[in-house]
């Protein structure tokens, strides 16, 4: 008795095809089910039978020696292949994958990229019954022959909305006949056609092997385009000759990984031929008329986002969608009619509200699950263990996570997220918390799990078998490959945040060597803030950072020595960049412990920088932007009084200084706050006098600098400065403004001091039972 082979040509991820396959298998009752897919997955296909396997899922194959070379085969609940897999496992019949092994596809040269249309298939392979590289679109050609200008709409009407009839095999016979007619035009040429020939020859060989194994009723589920090639079986010798040109296999591992509906969508970049996986899932899983329930879910979603949608809207939307289907001569309301009804009835024509429905319901955020027994590298198992113990379940929906590093579990969560970021898994990205806090004990993250992280976990397995070991190995490797000092300081900071105490000494040795050899002050200045942040955040994490403090102090000393010469001869762009570095270094040194007079040495450096007047042009002088900034930093630190600052401003704004240099000095001096112009009228008067004396021919040159300077000031400061200039002479004390008294009453001020001190947490101003706390006063009697 000869074996009976039934070819079920499908469109991948089509709910109509999935329903048709289920009905056909029930009618055929095959004793073997062959499915287009990687044969390496045969040993693990049985995992799909358990309740712990929840689609969407994907087969992930990767080269053992090069995990970055990987491929995916995604399956949703409405995928015909998934229906066939579950049928075979439930019926207890063999389920085999018969496509060309992934070991051949992954052996291709890197210059032959995989086709992004359907993950897991080599370039040019079929995507939903068609091939992007193959000339012509089979479904488009069939739709055109049927007189329809929209291939997706035609396929949806003919297949996806069709319920199985009395003869479940009739649709497959019709599709096979149509595909045979399309392929009668002759053999296509090119790499895509060559790859199809190899795949089809291998599939025919697997069908022959199933016959030799004694199976009598064989069901083959494959892309519709391949059906004619599998139906016309040439000789086995012919297929062996075709397969003789295959490349050498590479060692390959394969496993199941969770997938998402969003990754099944073409919009996501990992397209699988469908733009509406959420809609297709609803069509497949909803018995009867799917329209009312889907529109009810849309109304529920919009109501949750505070849109005024009622049950009357749902009823009217159902009526409108069905009416549109009749007007457009469609058998049932499809996605187009349903979306049009939602836009008109529920969203009042707003595309903003409609985008929410598209994102949540049309595309969807379903995340699959795989059982713990699925093959996995040790690193993946350790990551899963940490996710369970720390109660950090991967979720496809982005969410905010606030951590208190004083709590042991939150600190462990922080270390895990930082370690994953070291080898490229940005599951968590640092974000700004809604809770305002300047303390170092709080961290805020935005969590968003992506399915392709599974590949990065496999890639990172080369660094270690646990998350900690892999992160440490990756950090050491990155340190040895780093060429910039800033890379190393950022890496040290990452190691401290990740709690990688074993990796830190090796990274610190590389950092110390690089810092000792680096003579670029700009590089040193860019590296110091990251080191100081690492020291600061290390305190709350209980990290031993003695060596780090020594390196930071050494960098600070070298910056103090080399900064003034490094600021000489800079152009405008270089001066602007150095100004940013100057501010960062100033803040970093302020956070360092005052050991060995570092703060005094830094103040001396700023004084030296402020004294370097231009001499002979930019090639031999320090730009005014940096000199003015140095004076302002000294003034803010109390190492320069306002009288000396005014004297320096007067010198810069004298006729002996070039207007452009003076404007740059003013910009550096006022950056970060212009309130000092209000507190010291002399400074404002000097500035006003200089500005009115600038010659007309130079004024247009300095105007952009002045505009940029004053636009950065606070709005209140700008308004007050403008009103004072308009009020008249600026040399005298300003008149009392509305709402302010002519003089502060010390007794009334002292009465408020305890409350202010309590609110600000000032240790120097305690609340005494015997009377109000006193605060220091300046020589003129004003409160400091």
Q: What is the pLDDT of residues 414-434, one digit of tens each?
A: 999 999 999 889 999 998 765
Whole-angstrom distance, CA of residue 516 vs CA of residue 302: 61
Burial class (CB in 10 A: 0-12, 13-18, 19+), 752: exposed
Residue 285 belongs to what H/E stretch? Answer: helix 277-285
Whole-angstrom distance, CA of residue 183 vs CA of residue 417: 52
Phi, psi (deg, nearest 5) at residue 398: -60, 140
Residues 6+ apart with CB under 8 A from 520: 485
Closest CA to 592 of 582, 604, 602: 602
> CA torsion sign, 520 to 523 to 526 to 531?
negative
Tokens of 161: 């909305």
Residue 466 belongs to what H/E stretch? Answer: none
Q: CA 18 → CA 6, 87, 227, 395, 770, distances in Å?
A: 16, 11, 17, 27, 85
My answer on whether omega of the bond before 56 falls inside 30° of 0, hence cis, is yes
Q: Which residue's structure tokens are 């429905």?
A: 357
Q: Which residue's structure tokens are 């712990």?
A: 52
310 and 397 in contact (C-beta within 8 Å)? no
Phi, psi (deg, nearest 5) at residue 443: -130, 145
Tokens of 36: 């287009």
101 and 495 in contact (C-beta within 8 Å)? no
Q: DSSP label at 265?
A: B
Tokens of 23: 């009905």
The three-state secondary structure class of 752 is helix
218 and 207 in contact (C-beta within 8 Å)? yes
Tokens of 532: 């100081």
Residues 6+ apart with CB under 8 A from 214: none
Burial class (CB in 10 A: 0-12, 13-18, 19+), 273: buried
The three-state secondary structure class of 216 is coil
Tokens of 372: 């713990």
Q: Which residue's structure tokens are 């509906």?
A: 261
32 and 210 in contact (C-beta within 8 Å)? yes
Q: What residues are paired with 289 via a beta bridge?
A: none
Exposure of 555 in the CB half-sphere (CA atoms within 13 A)? 33
Q: Are strands 399-404 and 442-447 parallel, antiparallel or unpaired?
A: antiparallel
Residues 6+ apart with CB under 8 A from 695: 659
Sheet-wide strand order for 70-75: 70-75, 57-63, 252-258
Whole-angstrom distance, CA of residue 747 vs CA of residue 772: 10
The whole-model pTM stands at 0.66
Whole-angstrom distance, CA of residue 532 vs CA of residue 768: 37
Q: Are strands 217-223 and 4-10 parallel, antiparallel or unpaired?
A: parallel
Tokens of 143: 């739709």
pLDDT of residue 590: 81
Closest CA to 236 of 210, 211, 212, 201: 201
> CA torsion sign, 507 to 513 to 517 to 522?
positive
Q: Which residue's structure tokens are 């110091």?
A: 528
pLDDT of residue 120: 34
Whole-angstrom distance, CA of residue 65 vs CA of residue 162: 47
Whole-angstrom distance, CA of residue 552 vs CA of residue 592: 8
CA quadruple 402, 407, 413, 417: dihedral, nearest 10: 70
Q: What residues are paired with 539 via a beta bridge?
A: none
pLDDT of residue 439: 55
Q: Which residue's structure tokens are 């073409």?
A: 266
- SS3 for 509-531 is HHHHHHHHHCCCHHHHHHHHHHH
CA angle 33, 34, 36 (to 5 degrees): 140
Q: Are strands 428-430 and 399-404 parallel, antiparallel or unpaired?
A: unpaired
Q: DSSP label at 149?
A: S
428 and 447 in contact (C-beta within 8 Å)? yes
pLDDT of residue 773: 45
Residues of the chain with pLDDT under 70: 1, 108-137, 161-164, 185-190, 266-273, 433-440, 534, 536-548, 593-596, 613-620, 655, 672, 676, 728-742, 763-784
Q: DSSP label at 247?
A: P
Phi, psi (deg, nearest 5) at residue 22: -60, -45
């Amino acid at each position: 008795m000869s074996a009976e082979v039934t070819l079920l040509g499908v469109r991948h991820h089509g709910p109509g095809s999935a329903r048709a396959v289920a009905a056909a298998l029930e009618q055929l009752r095959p004793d073997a089910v062959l499915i287009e897919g990687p044969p390496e997955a045969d040993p693990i296909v049985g995992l799909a039978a358990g309740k712990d396997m929840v689609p969407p899922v994907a087969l992930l194959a990767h080269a053992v020696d090069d995990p970055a070379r990987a491929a995916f085969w995604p399956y949703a609940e409405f995928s015909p292949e998934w229906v066939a897999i579950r049928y075979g496992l439930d019926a207890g019949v063999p389920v085999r994958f018969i496509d060309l092994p992934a070991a051949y596809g992954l052996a291709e040269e890197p210059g032959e990229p995989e086709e992004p249309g359907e993950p897991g298939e080599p370039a040019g392979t079929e995507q939903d019954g068609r091939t992007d590289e193959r000339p012509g679109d089979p479904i488009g050609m069939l739709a055109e022959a049927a007189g329809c200008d929209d291939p997706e709409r035609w396929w949806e009407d003919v297949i996806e909305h069709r319920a199985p009839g009395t003869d479940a095999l009739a649709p497959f016979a019709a599709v096979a006949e149509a595909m045979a007619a399309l392929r009668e035009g002759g053999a296509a040429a090119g790499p895509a056609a060559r790859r199809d020939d190899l795949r089809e020859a291998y599939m025919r060989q697997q069908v022959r092997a199933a016959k030799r194994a004694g199976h009598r009723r064989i069901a083959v589920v494959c892309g519709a385009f391949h059906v004619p090639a599998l139906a016309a079986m040439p000789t086995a010798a012919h297929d062996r000759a075709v397969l003789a040109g295959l490349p050498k296999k590479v060692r390959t591992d394969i496993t199941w990984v969770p997938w998402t509906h969003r990754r099944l969508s073409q919009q996501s970049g990992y397209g699988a031929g469908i733009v509406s996986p959420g809609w297709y899932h609803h069509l497949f899983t909803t018995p009867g008329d799917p329209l009312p329930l889907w529109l009810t879910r849309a109304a529920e979603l919009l109501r949750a986002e505070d849109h005024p949608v009622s049950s009357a809207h749902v009823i009217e939307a159902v009526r409108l969608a069905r009416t549109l289907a009749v007007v457009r001569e469609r058998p049932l309301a499809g996605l187009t009619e349903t979306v049009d009804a939602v836009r008109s009835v529920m969203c009042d024509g707003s595309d903003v509200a409609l985008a929410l429905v598209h994102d949540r319901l049309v595309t969807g955020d379903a995340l699959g699950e795989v059982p713990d027994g699925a093959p996995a590298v040790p690193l993946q198992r350790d990551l899963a263990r940490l996710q369970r113990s720390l109660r950090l379940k991967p979720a496809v929906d982005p969410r905010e996570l606030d951590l208190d590093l004083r709590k042991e579990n939150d600190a462990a969560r922080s270390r895990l997220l930082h370690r994953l970021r070291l080898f490229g898994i940005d599951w968590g990205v640092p974000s700004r918390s809604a809770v305002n806090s300047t303390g170092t004990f709080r961290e805020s993250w935005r969590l968003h799990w992506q399915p392709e992280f599974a590949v990065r976990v496999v890639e990172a397995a080369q660094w270690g078998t646990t998350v900690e070991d892999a992160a440490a190995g990756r950090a050491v490797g990155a340190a040895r490959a780093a060429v910039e000092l800033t890379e190393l300081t950022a890496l040290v900071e990452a190691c401290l945040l990740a709690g990688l105490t074993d990796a830190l000494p090796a990274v610190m040795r590389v950092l110390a060597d690089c810092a000792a050899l680096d003579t670029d002050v700009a590089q040193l200045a860019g590296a110091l803030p990251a080191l100081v942040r690492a020291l600061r955040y290390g305190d709350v994490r209980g990290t031993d950072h003695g060596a780090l403090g020594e390196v930071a102090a050494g960098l600070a000393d070298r910056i103090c020595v080399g900064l003034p010469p490094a600021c000489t001869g800079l152009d405008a762009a270089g001066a602007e960049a150095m100004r940013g570095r100057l501010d960062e270094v100033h803040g970093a040194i302020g956070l360092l412990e005052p050991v060995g007079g570092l703060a005094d040495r830094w103040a001396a450096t700023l004084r030296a920088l402020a004294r370097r007047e231009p001499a002979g042009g930019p090639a031999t002088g320090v730009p005014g932007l940096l000199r003015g900034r140095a004076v302002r930093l000294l003034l803010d630190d109390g190492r320069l009084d306002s009288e000396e600052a005014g004297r320096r401003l007067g010198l810069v704004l004298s006729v002996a200084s070039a207007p452009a240099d003076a404007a740059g000095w003013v910009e550096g001096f006022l950056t970060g706050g212009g309130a000092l112009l209000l507190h010291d009228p002399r400074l404002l008067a000097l500035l006003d006098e200089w500005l009115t004396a600038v010659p007309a021919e130079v004024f247009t040159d300095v105007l952009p600098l002045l505009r940029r300077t004053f636009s950065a000031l606070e709005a209140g400061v700008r308004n007050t400065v403008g009103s004072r200039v308009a009020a008249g002479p600026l040399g005298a004390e300003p008149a009392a403004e509305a709402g302010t008294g002519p003089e502060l009453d010390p007794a009334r001020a002292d009465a408020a001091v305890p409350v202010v001190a309590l609110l600000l947490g000032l240790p120097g101003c305690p609340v005494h039972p015997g009377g109000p706390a006193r605060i220091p006063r300046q020589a003129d009697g004003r409160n400091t």
